Amino acid sequence: MSQQWKAICNVADIPVLGARVVHRAKQPNVAIFRNGEDKIFALLDRCPHKGGPLSQGIVFGERVACPLHNWNIQLDSGCATAPDEGCTQKFSVKVEDGRVYLDLQELNVTSSEAETA
């Protein structure tokens, strides 16, 4: 296991068609999603539209619907589907032996640093 990966939870800890929130000190939270095919995705827990908590949205296919204004956000890219525009930060995910890992360097980068990268 590379030193850059941080164990977050077990896949089973994330509800099917739901999310689990990773709290970060002084930074926006990260939402880890599990779809109906047990694929795991991680996004900044803020909709690009008005900052709604994506972790509280409805997961369908490989999208999540923002609970505030129903924008559909692609889980693999963090980008809104047309006609809406905008993206939220996505995070690299690795699943190994039923455990979910996030890239430690990405977790430690602030959202403003990620936007300028």
What ranges do the domains of the chain cover? 5-108
* pTM attached to this predicted model: 0.90
pLDDT in tens, 11-62: 999 999 999 999 998 899 999 999 999 999 999 999 999 999 999 999 999 9
Residue 117 confidence (pLDDT): 47
Tell the CATH superfamily of the 5-108 domain: Rieske [2Fe-2S] iron-sulphur domain (2.102.10.10)
- Work out the burial of residue 95: count CB atoms within 10 Å of its CB; fewer than 13 is exposed, 13-18 middle, 19 or more buried: middle
The stretch 63-78 carries a mean pLDDT of: 97
Distance CA 78, CA 95 (A): 19
Q: Residue 13 carries which DSSP code?
A: G
